[in-house]
Structure formats: C-alpha cells, structure tokens
Structure 1
C-alpha cells in the first residue's frame, strides 16, 4: 500500500484475487468507486474498495442484484427474499417436471399419449386459476366476497411443492376436468339452484362451513356417518336458509334434494382433489367434499335410508 493508504488497480486486483479487467469492469459501471487519482491520473483504491469488491463477488456468486444491493443499505434482505421466492418457484417447477417424466416413463405405450396430452395442458409450476374459475361459475351469484373466498380456500387444493407422479396425474386430470369446454354448453347441466328469494345463500354457506368443520373432525376420528352435532348443524343450515324448522319431514325432503343435486362432475372433482392432497404417508386431511359426502350419508342413515354417499357438493 502506498504512503497515502491506497492501492493501484493492479494491487487491488491482486489482493482480491481477481483480474485487473474485473476491477476495471466494476469501476466503469460505477459499482466500485475509486478513492483517489494518482498524479498521472490513474485510479487509486482504499481498503474499503477491497471489502466492496468482495461483496460484489459474493453477490454475483449468489446471482443477486448487485447494483440494487449497493445502492441501498437496507436492500440486501429484500433482494435475498426475492431471490429465494424465485428459486423456490424454479425448484417447484423442476420437481413437477421430474415427477411428470417419471409418470411418462412408468406407463404403457397406450397410456402415454393421453398422459402427454393431459400434462401438456398444465403449466409448471401449476396454476390453480382454472379451478378457481370453475367454482366461481358454480357458486350462487352475488354471494358475499368473504364467502366466495372461504369456498375457494376450501375447494381449490394447493399443488404440492414436491409432488409424486400420481399427484401430477391427479392435478392434470383435475385441470382437464374443470377446463372441459362442454361445461359452458348445454351438454353440461348442473343441478339448478333454487330461484332467488326461495333461500338465502349467505345463511346456507355460513352454516355449511361450520357443519363441514364438525364433520371433518368426525372423519379424522374415523367415526361412521350418523346422528350428532355435525349432522344437526348441516340440516340446520338448509332449514335456516329457507326460513323453516328442522323437522323429520324436512330431513326427509332434504335427503331427496341432495340426491337430486348430485353432480358427477363435482363428484369427480372431489375424488381427484383427494388424490392430489394425499400425503406420501399417513392419513389425508378431509376435503370439504368428503365432509359433505359423510353428512349426506349420515342424513340417510338417520332417516333409515341406504347410506350410499352422494356425488356432489351442490347446495
């Protein structure tokens, strides 16, 4: 170091273990300010330049935004968080691609063409936008935003970050199901909702949310469908939404109604959702569809009818 405590560009490069070209590159882009100039007009650098140069090299090694971090003292945490989010998305995408390739590898030639078609229609990492649109079309119009959000949270499964091949296939089939163009034509006629004024959907969906939570606890405990708090809450939600009372006659009528509203598309939706949400080991968390099936079976059992579960979640 010279008497004035500075280094030449070559000396700085030697101390940092880089080339003179590298130091000049960062200097010319304003990332490594010089401390002074020699009498001959050459750049001189102080000890702080060595620390800054080492920081720049570390940031580049981690593929972080160098100029953003150097411009603001508080930017490093923000840049690191952003980079972690981006890397997480990239890793998830790679894991989905890996599982998809395994799925294609471990199938017959006859299955491969269909699986290629299904997988090719799904982005990586996968988006749940099509699933959300399906439920927005299915729900009653003018349902309060908070209830729409509640239903979407319960009905739209989040794709796992590290999926198995079976989960990739389940999501691809789920995506194809809700994206079927026939859902918007006369070929698909879901069970109609009661006309406006005949029931209050806000009251119904609020009550169903509570009933499904209670039924989920019964499912986790592996209780068979039957009478209890969950079933009473379920029937009460329908009764209150229609301004009537929970009576044996109403329960009998409700059993017929949920049977008529059974929709095979929604039944298939919940089946695929359960496959997608199944953990590698241990029991799966009950879906809203599973809770609805349990409650409908409980209702049939309670009034003395065969307890086969219906196919749908269509209030």
Structure 2
C-alpha cells in the first residue's frame, strides 16, 4: 500500500499537529492518540512544547486504519496489514471464516423466534423444548452418531462414509421456521432410543452370523442408484432392474439365490423388522432435502412397495 504522502501546507516543516491531523481525517484527537499509543500511527517528532507531530503520509495511514477498523478488524490485525500488505488477504479470509458461523447462528435464531412467535400457546412449550435442545448454529453431529449406532459394526469406512453422506441431510443456510422445527424433531429422534433391529439382526441384539452386512449395503446402494430416477419422476413401484438389484443384495448378503420363494420370505421379513423410528427419520429428512434428490428412505420405500406388489400378484 503506497498512498500519496500529503504534507501540511500550512506548516513550515509540512508536519501535522495531532489536532490538525484529527481535523483533516474527520476523527477526534482521542482517536489519533489511541492509534498512536497502539503503535499503528507513529509520530515523527515532538514540538518544542512536547506536542506530537506527524509527518507526510500520516493522514493517508490514518484513513487506511479507519477503513480497516470499519471492517471490524481487531487492532492487532490492522497492525499486521499495515506492516505487510500481503497479510490483508489472510486477514480477510480469517474474518470471513469467523463471520460465517455467526451469521448462520443468527439466521437460525431468527427462524426459531418466528417459529415460537407464530404458534399457539399449547404448541409453544413443545417447540421450546425441541429448539432449546439444539445448538445455534446447529450441527448434524447427532444425526451422524445416530447412524453410526444403527449401522452394523465393522462396515468398511468408505461404505460408512457413503451411507452417512446420503442419510444426513445438508442444513439450509437460511432456514425457514418449518425447517428449524423439522431439524429439531430429527435431532430429538436421533438423541432418543436407538433402533436395534435390521436384516442382519432380525432378533434384537442377536446378529445373524450368516449375514454379510457389507455385501448388503453395497448392493442396496446400487439398487438405490437405479431407482432414483423413478422416485424423482413419481413413477409407481414396479418390477425391473432396480428391484432385481434390491433383492439380489439381500440374497447375496446371506449367500442365497434370488428365487420367488426368497422374495416372498424377504417381503414378510422386511415388514416384520420395519422400525417406526427409522421411518420417521426418513420422513423428516425428506422435508429438509431437495425434492429432486430423493432420500435413501424414499428409494427403499419404493423398492419395498414394488416387492410387496410382486409377491401379492404371484400369490
């Protein structure tokens, strides 16, 4: 930063007194003294009476200090920028990183306040309890912990990461009151009692030794990829490649073959082990997700409905 260096045309030595500098900069003498004492605005000399005198460049430097302070930069950060021009980019990046979470927290609080204002007295107590349990800004850490507890142990890390990416929704940067309520309900669900039943654990707390969960979840991911276009388009559940991949995932995970009898048994088993907590989670997740990006839960519901319809038709 190399500004012009104006001098004081009214002084024989071209220097500024502290009062003259403050007047031309549009600040108070107290402000000039503060920046001088902090080492941001060095004085050049002292008058015979001991008063501070400022040389050429002091006015531009003071204006620069004021501009940086207008951005709410702390005094030490202003000093860094004054000493090293290249530091400005790092300082700006740091400030943006700090402001982002603060803005997110304010947006969350604003939406939460609207949520509490625009409801009945009977609803307010429950909403206060739900919203009060969530940090501001909110994080999805509780949702990720929920799924890590639900998923079978010893799944490959890559597979767990892929499942979490699809199961944990991205939070909106500028939420509506209804989205705040939806996420608060998801948070309450995720921090409550956890489901303990799945295909590889048809009896609570008793895993099926013959089931290979990694094979199952790999195959389910492929089936969901195949069916997402049908779900997005609102097509009715039907037989096809997606359903075949879905059934094959379950069969392969137990070392079995896809047969009509296996499909019949699978349809009954999936109905029996369906968990209302998981179903509720997916319903809430759909409210936060982009309609063009169906959740795993929506894909699974479609495929299960297709399986049930096929089994019913065969019967």
| Aligned position for 2:62 | 53
| TM-score where L is the length of structure 1 | 0.84
Deviation of residue 99 (structure 1)?
2.2
| Aligned position for 2:261 | 249
Q: How many residues align?
A: 296
Residue among 187, 190, 195 paired with 2:197? 190
Return closer, same or farther for 1:39/1:113 CA change in 2, 3 Å cut-off: closer
Residue pair 1:154, 1:288 contacting (<8 A) in 2 also? yes
Does residue 1:91 correspond to 2:99, yes or no? no
Structure 2 alignment gaps of length 5 or more: 1-7, 202-206
Q: Please give the root-mean-square deviation of Cα atoms over the aligned residues, in Å.
A: 2.5
Residue pair 1:69, 1:75 contacting (<8 A) in 2 also? no
Residue pair 1:214, 1:229 contacting (<8 A) in 2 also? yes
* 1:208-255 Cα shifts (integer Å, max 9, x gaps): 222212222211122111122222222222233333333333322322
Higher mean alpha-carbon deviation, 239-248 vs 104-113, is at 239-248
| Aligned position for 1:107 | 119
| Aligned position for 1:13 | 22
What does 1:71-220 align with in structure 2 at a 5 Å threshold?
A: 71=80, 72-180=84-192, 182-183=193-194, 189-191=196-198, 193-194=200-201, 195=207, 197-220=209-232
| Aligned position for 1:225 | 237
Deviation of residue 268 (structure 1)?
0.6
Cα distance in 2, alignment partners of residues 191 and 269 from structure 1: 15
SS of corresponding position for 1:130: helix
Which structure 1 residue ranges, 4+ long, deviate > 4 Å from structure 2?
2-5
Residue among 277, 299, 311 paired with 1:291? 299
Higher mean alpha-carbon deviation, 19-28 vs 157-166, is at 157-166
| Aligned position for 2:3 | none
Structure 1 alignment gaps of length 5 or more: 307-315
Cα distance in 1, alignment partners of residues 19 and 59 from structure 2: 12
Does residue 1:32 correspond to 2:32, yes or no? no
| Aligned position for 1:271 | 283
Cα distance in 1, alignment partners of residues 111 and 77 from structure 2: 36
* 1:50-77 Cα shifts (integer Å, max 9, x gaps): 2322222112212123422432433322
Deviation of residue 202 (structure 1)?
2.2
Cα distance in 1, alignment partners of residues 159 and 78 from structure 2: 42
